[in-house]
């Protein structure tokens, strides 16, 4: 009985149980739990995140400081130098109301600015693989960032036709996000995201203006126009009161209150800018257009497939429900999932166009055997490519045999030899110890 156990022990020691598709190093890569990271920590766009992913900003979010200062500084000057005379010239309760309304209005404008800038504008989730072409089902494994693929993956047409309110609209294929953009969606080159109902990228806000923040953007622009007109009007009232009190002309009144003169000039120029922007966006709202569509397509009333009448267009912007974000930036993801995806993509070879790619082929590409000592070289190659979505360019062997590949790989043979020698010496020690006990 003890002899049979000894034979089984010896067989287990000398037999190396090699998996059919995984090497030890590959299994350590795939099965390693890895640290869990938030989605915003592995985000591929150019956005900036604050408060652990609770706030998403554009890459040029520093312009917010300039925009806020252009709003707050004139209000501070108005309250410090102009409002005191208004309190004296008007009844006390009216004068106090004039003074209080201005900073409250400014706070309201700044809040609208922050909501517009710190909100997801409607980013479309990216696709990990190009869409299935309709002709032969072939999907190219070459990334859109790879040189020479500027015209899109082979077999994937650059545009598709879709029906919108009975009108055929062409939608384009996004090479970066690897998807067909929905109607009215465009890719922002500054934020590097596809944005739903993309209007434009506003440098003053530092964020894209899309479906989820366009309403707040218009409220911000229109409210800023009203604030400029408010300060402009009461600065003129202050000048008129000075002229009546001192019986002087305009220039002497301006010399007595130079801040009022400065604010008149400043708010006059600002009101033209934000007021013109407000009027332009009112036209876009009434006709149900975006800035991008107006400059690119020049829709007429009869040609615009999205217009549903003036009242319905206004209701769509101001009274429709804002859709929820398609991203949970605080969602926990595998910390090594992106690197694992990049590793598998760098090791995977594109198939020939004659053979359709299936999910099993993708898994096969991920499970190719990798020696442990080659991991650092692979990582350096990935870093030199400059991204996580680089792919190999060598043709894949269609008649690939797992057993033959396993046995023919010199690195795996070396690992197997070391593995066998280590366990062989341990097995021999156990057998010699068993023979001593038997003796």
185 catalytic? Reply is: no
Residues 99 and 238: their CA atoms lie apart, in Å, by 13
* Residue 226: partners with Cβ closer than 8 Å, 6 or more residues away: 105
Given a contact cutoff of 8 angstroms between Cβ atoms, the answer to whether 423 and 14 are in contact is yes
Helix axes 24-31, 337-347, angle to 10 degrees: 140
Decide if 371 contacts 23 (C-beta within 8 A).
yes
Helices (H), 159-213: none
Smallest CA-to-CA distance from 197 within 289, 321, 319, 329 is with 289
The DSSP secondary structure of 322-376, one letter per residue, reads: PPPPS--TT-EEETTHHHHHHHHHHH--PPPTTS---HHHHHHHHT----GGGHH
Cα separations (Å) of 314 from 278, 293, 376, 403?
A: 14, 17, 58, 66
- Of all residues in the chain, what percent are helix, strand and coil, respectively (each to 5)? 55, 10, 40
Catalytic residue among 177, 185, 194, 202: 202
**Beta strand ranges found along 60-100 (DSSP E):** none
Q: Which residue has the tokens 């130098």?
A: 81
Q: Give me the active site residues, please.
A: 202
């Amino acid at each position: 009985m003890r002899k049979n156990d000894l034979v089984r022990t010896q067989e287990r020691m000398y037999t190396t149980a090699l998996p059919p598709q995984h090497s030890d190093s590959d299994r350590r890569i795939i099965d390693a739990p890895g640290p869990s990271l938030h989605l915003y920590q592995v985000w591929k766009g150019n956005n900036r995140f604050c408060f652990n992913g609770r706030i998403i900003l554009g890459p040029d979010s520093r312009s917010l400081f300039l925009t806020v200062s252009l709003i707050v500084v004139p209000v501070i000057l108005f309250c410090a130098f102009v409002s005191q005379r208004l309190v004296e010239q008007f009844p006390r309760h009216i004068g106090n109301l004039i003074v209080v309304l201005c900073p409250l209005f400014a706070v309201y404008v700044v809040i609208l600015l922050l909501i517009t800038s710190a909100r997801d504008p409607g980013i479309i989730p990216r696709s990990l693989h190009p869409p299935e072409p309709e002709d032969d089902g072939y999907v190219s494994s070459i990334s859109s960032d790879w040189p020479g693929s500027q015209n899109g993956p082979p077999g994937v047409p650059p545009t598709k036709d879709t029906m919108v309110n009975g009108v055929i609209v062409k939608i384009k294929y996004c090479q970066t996000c690897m998807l067909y953009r929905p109607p009215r969606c465009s890719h922002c080159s500054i934020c590097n995201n596809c944005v739903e109902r993309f209007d434009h990228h506003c440098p003053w806000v530092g964020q894209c203006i899309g479906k989820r923040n366009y309403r707040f953007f218009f409220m911000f622009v229109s409210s800023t126009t009203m604030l400029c007109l408010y300060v402009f009007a009461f600065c003129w009232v202050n000048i008129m009161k000075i002229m009546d009190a001192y019986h002087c002309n305009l220039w002497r009144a301006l010399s007595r209150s130079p801040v009022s003169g400065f604010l008149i000039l400043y708010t006059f120029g600002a009101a033209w800018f934000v007021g013109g922007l407000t009027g332009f966006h009112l036209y876009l709202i009434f006709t149900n257009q975006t800035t991008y569509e107006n400059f690119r397509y020049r829709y007429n009333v009869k040609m615009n497939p999205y217009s549903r009448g003036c009242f319905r267009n206004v209701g769509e912007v101001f009274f429709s429900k804002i859709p929820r974000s398609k991203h949970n930036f605080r969602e926990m993801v595998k910390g090594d999932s992106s690197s694992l995806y990049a590793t598998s993509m760098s090791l995977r070879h594109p198939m020939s166009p004659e053979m359709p790619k299936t999910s099993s082929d993708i898994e096969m590409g991920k499970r190719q055997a990798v020696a442990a000592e080659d991991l650092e070289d692979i990582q350096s190659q990935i870093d030199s490519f400059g991204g996580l979505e680089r792919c190999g360019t060598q043709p894949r062997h269609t008649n690939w045999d797992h057993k033959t590949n396993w046995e023919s790989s010199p690195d795996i043979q070396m690992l197997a030899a070391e593995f066998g020698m280590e366990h062989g010496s341990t097995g021999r020690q156990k057998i010699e110890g068993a023979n001593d006990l038997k003796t």
